[in-house]
Amino acid sequence: MIESTQNKQVKLWKKLKTKKGRQQENLYLVEGEHLVREAVEKLPERDIQNFILVEEYKDNVSNFPKEKIVWVGEKVAMELAETETTQGMFAVIEKKPAELPQTIHRPYLFLDAVQDPGNMGALIRTAAAAGFEGVVCGKGSVDPYNMKALRGSQGMHFNLGVYEGSLEEWILYFQNQGLKVFGTALDQEAEAYTSIAPASAPFALMVGNEGQGISSNLLELTDSNLYIPLADHVESLNVSIAAGILMFHLYDTR
Amino acid sequence: MIESTQNKQVKLWKKLKTKKGRQQENLYLVEGEHLVREAVEKLPERDIQNFILVEEYKDNVSNFPKEKIVWVGEKVAMELAETETTQGMFAVIEKKPAELPQTIHRPYLFLDAVQDPGNMGALIRTAAAAGFEGVVCGKGSVDPYNMKALRGSQGMHFNLGVYEGSLEEWILYFQNQGLKVFGTALDQEAEAYTSIAPASAPFALMVGNEGQGISSNLLELTDSNLYIPLADHVESLNVSIAAGILMFHLYDTR
């Protein structure tokens, strides 16, 4: 049982609370019983490097691979926690390589510079609920492995592919396979989303930054840009709500 | 200019930061330049009791009724602020009486025990964007005049009617006028929302608590209950995203 917060292993785990640490180690940390149990259920065992647990879970983790469990004291758990009260259950998980998928079976959500971790989590959760295959975080987006974003995704993060990469590349990749890429915009040239019939073929939907929307150079690369007609005197919707409306309308899973 | 945080008026305003104070005084406090300017633009002048401003706005509030402005020092502004950094602009506004509207022209959103202020704000903002006429907060809901909820609504709060009342009463009131009330549920007896054709006639849509959903006694009173089909292994959507998908699908504004 590790009791000291000065322990070398603890110091490495603590690094995973920062974006830089996660990039250097190619690992991320998830916190909380719900998220860790989701990871056990949904990820291949090799993807999880360690489980970090306080003693009280001793009789309650029979389905965790024993050799990967590290028991820690309360102080260490507090040190790793993001929230002020911690359940004392963590997992250290390998980040997947950011390679493009070989075949595309279902739609993808592209995120251009989405900056709020709560929005990032909600977008991932909603994309999974809509049956999307992946979420691609472009330049300027908050780290999807940010602990607040992971909490917001409610473990739905493990239900789809989460990628970080160049959206220019991803747009071209989709278009080269004959798949449509829809942007979202508030300008006059955009089309009302209701004019697009729901389809069961894969496509990509791109949403943008909370304040600025999608950058103009990306908007020029899409096949078409959509807008959601809003009531008078209303400027915009929250990005995760707008994306929810569009994903559930565009993708026909029936 | 009021400089002392012990001033009687300041103490009254501070009371408006609590639910109890808002109920006693039938007033609420909004904070921030964006929200206050929205209030000036959208509310009748008589609804706003006072503007509370720091000196730096002196040359920038020519459209505010002069006799209602109270100038305060930084310390007072800090005392009233909900956020750690304040813009030093507040308004004290009268809560509207919770009477039932005489005629119903557009749809309403009913909220059963929605508890998170962020969700409350997002629901009000999204309902306004979808062109809804009102939001009704039932028993157990967070106070819609909570400062965090007001901030989340981005001033869209002023675009529609916000009511607090008994949802049983409101459901009957709608049904007596021949208007449909849709609940939302996850059970087998609910209907997929996509089986309901968009309509331009008014109706009510009810969503429920973040964990429990709508209470069973209210679900029995509705005309029908809807669900959003989700991908396998996904339990639920955030309530404001679910409501957004349903409101934009059900209400045809074209």
Residue A145 CB coordination number (10 Å): 22
- A69 shares its domain with A118: no
In this structure, the strands spanning A48-54 and A89-94 are antiparallel
Mean pLDDT throughout A215-224?
96
* Domain co-membership, B47 together with B164: no
Q: Does A110 score more than 90 pLDDT?
A: yes
Q: Is A69 exposed, middle or buried (0-12, 13-18, 19+ CB in 10 A)?
A: middle
Shortest Cα distance, chain A CAs vs residue B2, angstroms:
35
Phi and psi of B57, rounded to 5°? -85, 0
Whether B149 is covered by a domain: the verdict is yes
CATH number at residue B58: 3.30.1330.30
Determine, for residues A129 and B234 on separate chains, whether the beta-carbon distance falls below 8 Å: yes
Assess whether A84 and A114 both reside in one domain.
no
Min Cα distance A193 → chain B (Å) is 11
CB–CB contact A244 B245 (8 Å): yes
Residue B144 and residue B30 in one domain: no
Which of B234, B235, B249 is the best mutation test for A, with the most CBs of A within 10 A? B234
Nearest to B237 by CA among B189, B193, B172: B193
pLDDT number for residue A253:
84
Q: What is the pLDDT of residue B84?
A: 81
The answer to the question of residue A103 being in a domain is no
Residues B125, B77, single domain; the answer is no
N residues, chain B: 254
Instruction: Write the pLDDT tens digit of every residue in A161-217.
Output: 999 999 999 999 999 999 999 999 987 789 999 999 999 999 999 999 999 999 999
Residue in chain B lying closest to A198 (CA): B194
pLDDT at position A23 over 90: yes
Closest alpha carbon within chain A to B242: A244
Mean local confidence (pLDDT), A12-35? 95
Q: Give pLDDT, residue A26.
A: 94
| Residue A84 falls inside a structural domain | yes
Say if B150 falls within a structural domain. yes
Range of the domain at A130: 108-250
Question: Distance (Å) from the C-alpha of residue B156 to the closest C-alpha of chain A?
Answer: 7
> In chain A, pLDDT over 70 holds for what percent of residues?
99
Please report which helix (H) or strand (E) contains residue B36, including its range.
helix B33-42
Q: What is the pLDDT of residue A186?
A: 81
Choose from B239, B245, B254 for mutation: most chain A CBs within 10 A: B245
Q: What is the model's pLDDT at position B235?
A: 86
B77-86: pLDDT as tens digits = 999 998 788 8
In a domain, residue A183? The reply is yes
Per-residue pLDDT tens digits for A53-72 = 999 999 999 999 999 999 99
Q: CATH no. for residue B167?
A: 3.40.1280.10
Order of strands across the sheet that contains B69-72: B27-31, B89-94, B48-54, B69-72
**Number of folded domains in chain A?**
2
- Does A128 have pLDDT greater than 80? yes
Contacts A–B by Cβ distance under 8 A: 79
Verify whether the Cβ–Cβ distance B129 to A240 is below 8 Å. no
Whole-angstrom distance, CA of residue A65 vs CA of residue A51: 9
B57-65: long-range contacts at Cβ-Cβ below 8 A with a sequence spacing of 24 or more? Answer: B57/B88, B57/B89, B64/B40
Which portions of chain B are predicted below pLDDT 50?
none
B164-173 pLDDT, tens digit each? 999 999 999 9
Residue A3 lies in a domain: no
- Residue B210 CA from chain centroid, whole number: 16
| Domain finish residue from A38, A71, A94 | A94
Residue A56 and residue A82 share a domain: yes
Could you tell me which residues are beta bridge partners of residue B54? Answer: B72
The answer to whether the CB atoms of B159 and A238 lie below 8 A apart is no
Domain identity same for A149 and A208: yes
Q: Is A101 within a domain? A: no
According to the 3-state scheme, what is the secondary structure of B131-189? CCCEEEECCCCCCCCCHHHHHHCCCHHHHCEEEECCHHHHHHHHHHCCCCEEEECCCCC
- CA B107 to CA B135: how far, in whole Å? 9
Segment (H or E) for B92: strand B89-94
Shared-domain flag, residues A161 and A189? yes
d(CA B54, CA B90): 9
Domain-terminating residue out of A62, A94, A126? A94
Q: Tell me: do B117 and B82 sit in the same domain.
A: no
Say if residue A128 is in the same domain as residue A184.
yes
Cα dihedral across residues A235, A241, A247, A249: positive or negative: negative
**pLDDT category of residue A85 using cuts at 50, 70 and 90:** confident
CB contact under 8 A, A238 and B128: no
Answer whether residue B228 is part of any domain.
yes
Using the beta-carbon criterion (under 8 Å), do B231 and A253 form an inter-chain contact? Answer: yes
- Residue of A49, A108, A56 whose CA lies nearest to A77: A56
- Chain A CB contacts of B125 below 8 Å: 237-238
Residue of A32, A39, A29, A34 whose CA lies nearest to A54: A32
Q: What is the pLDDT of residue B241?
A: 98
> Among A35, A68, A94, which residue terminates a domain?
A94
Closest CA to A9 of A63, A90, A116, A98: A90
Chain A contacts of B228, Cβ < 8 Å? 129, 248
Are residues B71 and B119 both part of a single domain? no
| Residue A99 binned pLDDT confidence (cut-offs 50, 70, 90) | confident
Residue type, B134: G
Question: CA-nearest residue of chain A to B155?
Answer: A234
Q: What pLDDT sits at residue B189?
A: 83
In this prediction, the answer to ipTM > 0.90 reads: yes
Same domain, B213 and B164: yes
Residues A228 and A185: beta-carbon distance below 8 Å: no
Interface of A with B (CB under 8 A): 42, 118, 122, 125-126, 128-131, 156, 159, 194, 228-231, 233-234, 236-238, 240-242, 244-245, 248-249, 253-254
